[in-house]
Amino acid sequence: MTQMPDPTRPLKIGTRGSMLALAQAHETRDRLAAAHGLPGEAFDIVVIKTTGDRITDRPLKEIGGKGLFTREIEDALLAGQIDIAVHSMKDMPTLQPEGLVIDCLLPREDVRDAFVSPHFASIPELPAGTVVGTSSLRRRAQLAHRRPDLRLVEFRGNVQTRLKKLDEGVAAATFLAMAGLSRLGMREVARDAIDPAEMLPAVAQGAIGVERRQGDIMAASLLAAIHHVDTGYRIAAERAFLTRLDGSCQTPIAGLAEIRKNRLLLRGEILRPDGSAAISGHREGGLDEGASMGADLAEELLGRAGEGFFDGV
Ligand SMILES: NCc1[nH]cc(CCC(=O)O)c1CC(=O)O
Quick: pLDDT tens for 16-45: 999 999 999 999 999 999 999 999 999 999
Give 300's Cβ-side CA count (13 Å radius): 15
Asked if residue 171 and residue 36 are part of one domain, the reply reads no
pTM score of the predicted model? 0.93
Q: Please tell me whether residues 211 and 90 are part of one structural domain.
A: yes
Ligand 1 contact, 255 CB (< 6 A)? no
Spatial distance between the Cα atoms of 114 and 121, rounded to a whole number of angstroms = 11
> Has residue 4 been placed in a domain?
no
Of the CA atoms within 13 Å of residue 153, those in its CB half-sphere come to 15
122 and 183 co-located in one domain: yes
User: At CB < 8 A and 24+ separation, what contacts does 93-99 make?
Assistant: 93/66, 93/67, 93/247, 94/239, 94/242, 94/243, 94/247, 95/243, 95/247, 96/211, 99/213, 99/214, 99/215
Q: How far, in Å, CA of 280 to CA of 241, rounded? A: 12
Please check whether residue 256 lies inside any domain of the structure: yes
113 lines ligand 1 (CB under 6 A): no
Answer yes or no: 103 catalytic. no
Look at residue 1 and tell me whether its pLDDT is greater than 50: no
Is there a single domain that holds both residue 77 and residue 213?
yes
Residues 279 and 141 in one domain: no
Residue 56 in domain:
yes
Statement to judge: residues 173 and 97 lie in one domain: no
Interface pTM (ipTM) of the complex? 0.93
Q: How far is the CA of 44 from the centre of ligand 1 (A)?
A: 24
In a shared domain, residues 218 and 91: yes
Whether residue 39 lies inside any domain: the answer is yes
Query: Which structural domain, as residue segments, surrounds residue 294?
Result: 239-305
CB-based burial, 79-96: b 16+ in 10 Å, e otherwise:
eeebbbbbbbbbbbbbeb
Per-residue model confidence as pLDDT tens digits over 254-298:
999 999 999 999 999 999 999 999 999 999 999 999 999 999 999
179 lines ligand 1 (CB under 6 A): yes
Catalytic residue among 83, 91, 110, 192: 91
CB-CB neighbours of 236 under 10 Å: 20
